[in-house]
Structures are given as structure tokens and as C-alpha cells.
Amino acid sequence: MFIIHSYPLAVVFCFITMLCWGSWANSQKLVSGRWRYEYFYWDYVIGVLLLSLIFALTLGSFGHEGRSFIPDLLQASRSSISNAFIGGVVFNASNILLSTAIAICGMSVAFPVGVGIALILGVIVNYFGAAKGDPVYIFAGVLLISIAIVLNGLAYKKKQSGAGNLSAKGLIISVMAGVIMAFFYRFVAASMDISDFTYPAPGKMTPYTAVFVFSIGVFISNFLFNGIAMKHPVQGEPAPLSGYFKGSCRTHMVGILGGTVWCIGEAFSMIASEKAGPAISYGLGQGATLVSAIWGIFVWKEFRSAPRISVRLNAGMFVLFIIGLVLLIYAGA
């Protein structure tokens, strides 16, 4: 299987993760207004599952290093499979809340608040789960990113002054998504031998197998989580399952594309975790908050009518986010 052997290449993979995790929601924006996000999310989950299987059968099976996908899956212990599966369930619970928040308040708010909180808590959880990197620089970076999230929340509040419940609802759901999302990566990392992908310990899985089992957890749990979201939506009327089959082929493909883009990021993050460490690999990947804010502000114009103070607050958010990410990179170097 394909394995990374240098920290600089691991950082490159983490940046690809950041771009993927920060960009997948554009697919949701492309169909918003004419396609319920609950229907979009079914296609998104299918995309995650398909891409994880493709990676497992290609990058996870070719070459002479490590265990290939099928033998690795067959030798995996029950606890390793359970950890990766639970990681998928936890992620899906958080991500469907994030999709809801995007539908309410847009990418430029849902991501910096929700995923930003997930970054802060997730880095802490993953660092203490498998300490790697200089803690001073890691937590200094997290502190700056925390301040950046506060600035973005204030910018949204200024923009939504007078919108009342809409502002509160979007922010609350974003926070809920972030708190839950902080824990999924640790479960998946626990299913692997982070110290050695070339000769992983018996019972532990390679990153490709772990991501595949994770995606199964996402897919199966979607019947519960998205089923609830369809029957009890936070906005609009309940969405009957029959409505999903009324979408065009192009609409379904957009959702599947969103899932495949996200899963590329997840796979690359896990592949990089051996050299970068789970805390740094996860933290850099969740720099996706910066990427999504750029999409939301400059492409989708979500702050078009915002007052000047919102523009200044968002500018401060960008600066602090970038400095925080640089500190995370330096922590691993």
C-alpha cells in the first residue's frame, strides 16, 4: 500500500485534506434552493462509501509495504473494527448537523464556528490520545484559532442584527456539530497502529481499511440520523423519502461528488497521521474552516450586505487562523 515516509509530504497531504474538507460543501450550495439538504446528504454519504472502497482497492492494496486491504480487514480485531465504525457514527451525527447549519446560516459561518470548535477540542483529544509534536506550539495555535472563531461569530451576529431566531438557531446548531465532531477522529485513529503503518500490530488496521470501516458506520447510521432529520426538519416541512427519487441524475451526482471530495480529505489525513501525528494531522485538516470561509465570503457572497464591522472582524479571523495553522505545522517540525 502507499505509505508516507517524510513529514513535509505529510504536511502536503494535510493541506490537501484542508482543501477537500473546506470545499465539499460547495456541492450542497450548488443544489440549495431546489434540492433539500436531507436528500443531498444521502448522495453525499454514498460518495463517501464509494471513494473509501476505491482507495482501499487501489492505494490500499498496491505495492509491497504494509498489509493490503483484504488481508488487513480479515485480521482486524473486533475492537479495531468497532472503533472505526463508531468513528463513522459520531462523524455522521455531527456532519448532518453541520449540513443543517450550512442550510441556515451559510458556509462562511457554519464552518468557522462548527468545524473551528471541532478543531480546538479535536486537537486536544487527539494530542492526549497520541502525543506527538511540541505542545507549546500546538496549543498556542489552537488559542489563536479559538479567538478567530469568536471573531467570526461576532461578524455573523453583526450581519444578522434584527434576524433574531435565525441567527441563534444557526449558531447553536453549528456549536453542537462542532462539539460532537471533535471526537470522531480519535476513534478512527485508535483503530490503527499510528506508530508503524509498514508493520502494523496484529489486530490493528491500516488507514485505508480504517477509512472503509468508518464509511460503513457513516452509511448505516445515516438511516437513523437522516431519517430523523427528514421527519423533523429544523426548517420547512418534513421531507418524504419518495422525494429523493425525483431528483435528476445531475443533482444526485453533485451530492456524490461532495462525498468523494470529503473522503479524499479523510483518507489523506489518516495516511499522513503516522508522520505528522493525529493531533497535527487532524488540526491542519480542520483548517478547512479557513477554506470554507473563503468560499462563503468571496464566492457565494454570504456577507454581501454585512456592515463594515463584519468585514473587519472576518479579516481578523483570517489573520489569526493563518497564524494558528502555521504554529501547528511548526509544532510537528
What's the confidence (pLDDT) of residue 203? 98
Specify the number of domains making up the chain: 1
Share of the chain above pLDDT 90, in %: 67
pLDDT on residue 236: 84
Task: Name the least confident of 71-80, 115-124, 213-222.
Answer: 115-124
What residues make up the domain containing 94?
22-332
Q: Give the Å distances, CA to CA, from 83 to 61, 69, 77, 274, 303.
A: 22, 17, 10, 18, 40
Burial-class residue 251 by CB neighbours within 10 Å (0-12, 13-18, 19+).
middle
**If you average pLDDT over residues 244-253, what whole number do you get?**
96
Q: Do the Cβ atoms of 129 and 189 come closer than 8 Å?
A: yes
pLDDT for the residue numbered 167: 56
pLDDT at residue 16 tops 70: yes
Residue 57 covered by a domain: yes
Q: Is residue 323 packed enough to be buried (19+ CB in 10 Å), middle (13-18) or exposed (0-12)?
A: middle
Mean pLDDT of 137-146: 90
Q: What is the mean pLDDT of residues 70-81?
A: 97
The answer, yes or no, to whether residue 235 has pLDDT greater than 70, is: yes
Put simply, whether the predicted model's pTM sits higher than 0.85 gets the answer yes
Q: What are the φ and ψ backbone dihedral angles of 255, each rounded to 5 degrees?
A: -65, -45
Q: Which residue has the cell 480519535?
A: 186
- Nearest Cα residue to 289 out of 123, 151, 148, 112: 112
| Per-residue pLDDT tens over the stretch 42-69 | 999 999 999 999 999 999 999 889 999 9
At 87-97, the pLDDT tens digits run 999 999 999 99
Which residue blocks in 33-75 are alpha helix, DSSP H?
A: 37-57, 69-75
Contact 271, 198 (CB under 8 A): no
Closest CA to 189 of 179, 175, 200: 200
Half-sphere exposure of 66 (CA within 13 A, CB side): 32
Which residues are 205's β-sheet partners? 192
Contact 140, 327 (CB under 8 A): yes
Q: What whole-number distance in Å separates Cα of residue 287 and Cα of residue 270?
A: 15
Cα three-residue angle 323-326-332, rounded to 5 degrees: 145
Q: What is the pLDDT of residues 199-229, one digit of tens each?
A: 999 999 999 999 999 999 999 999 999 999 9
In this predicted model, which residue has the larger pLDDT, 314 or 116? Answer: 314
Q: Is 311 helix (H, G, I), strand (E, B) or coil?
A: helix
Q: What local confidence, expressed as pLDDT, does residue 240 receive? A: 95
C-alpha span between 167 and 250 (Å, rounded): 32
In a domain, 5, yes or no: no
Inside any domain, residue 16? no
What average pLDDT is seen over the chain?
Answer: 91
Residue 136 lies inside a defined structural domain of this protein: yes
197 SS3 class: coil
Question: Is 9 part of any domain?
Answer: no
Closest to 31 in 3D by CA, of 107, 108, 103: 103
Torsion sign, CA atoms 114, 172, 124, 320:
positive
Nearest to 88, CA basis, from 255, 270, 216 = 216
User: How far are the Cα atoms of 30, 89, 92, 224 from residue 81, in angstroms, in the given order?
Assistant: 35, 12, 17, 20
Q: How far apart are CA 308 and CA 206, in angstroms?
A: 49
Least confident of 37-51, 231-245, 270-284, 289-303: 289-303
Residue 7 has pLDDT above 80, yes or no: yes
Is 1 within the bounds of a domain?
A: no
CA–CA dist 297, 320 (Å, integer): 17
Between 220 and 147, residue with greater pLDDT: 220
**Structural domain contains residue 6:** no
The mean pLDDT of 122-130, rounded to a whole number, is 89
**288 vs 161, which has greater pLDDT?**
288
What pLDDT digit, counting tens, does each position of 156-211 carry?
778 776 454 445 788 889 999 999 999 999 999 999 999 999 999 999 999 999 99
Residue 108 in this model has a pLDDT that exceeds 80:
no
* Identity of the residue numbered 150: V
| CA pair distance 238, 72, nearest whole angstrom | 42
Tell me the CA end-to-end span of the chain in Å, nearest whole number. Answer: 25
